[in-house]
Amino acid sequence: MKKKLYKIAVFIALAAFIPLVVFIANRESPPEKIKVESHKKQIIKQFRLESKEKINWELTAPEAEFKGEDVIFLKNPHLFIHPKSQPPITIKSPSALYFRKEKKVELKHVLLKTDNLTAESPCGIYFVDSALFKTNCGCKILLKSKNSIAGKICVLNFKKKEITISGNVKSVFREVKK
């Protein structure tokens, strides 16, 4: 009788392991690893980037698209520069590229406005760290007094409050009537 009870106990013990074996056998395998490329096409609506350094600036655009780790393509960007104790400077463009590592903004068909002047250029680069706007593709500056200056190379240094124009410089000065 002991042998029969022993056989029944062994059978019950083995039968108890059957659901565990079935459960383990039917268990799902872990999902395959999916490789996701970082910096895939990412579009940001109402893009805004600002800095509170020596010269505060703010870069906004209704739409921005990341082009890799370093480059951001901007549609209709506005760059607002706020030099200390000076009126703000606005730079507008239909399109631009912002290079994060180099901290520069490359603009196309640029319109720059301050309280004293308006400048236009087919292209230009704004260097964020040095607060310098430079163009090598020609520019035209219209002063508030209706005088105008045009040239091939224009450099506007907002820190030093300087404008340098060189290469085929043409100036038109009008007499101020009182």
- Domains along the chain? 42-172 (2.60.450.10)
Give me the residue label for tokens 């007094």: 145
pTM score of the predicted model: 0.70
In 3D, which of 69, 44, 61, 121 has the Cα closest to residue 96? 61
pLDDT in 10s for each residue of the chain, 178 residues: 777 777 787 777 777 777 776 777 676 666 666 665 655 677 889 989 888 776 788 889 999 998 888 899 999 999 888 877 678 889 999 999 999 899 899 999 999 998 888 899 999 999 988 888 999 998 998 888 788 888 898 998 888 888 888 888 877 776 666 5
Secondary structure (DSSP) of 107-170: EEEEEEE-SSEEEEEEEEEEETTTTEEEESS-EEEEETTS-EEEESEEEEETTTTEEEEESS-E
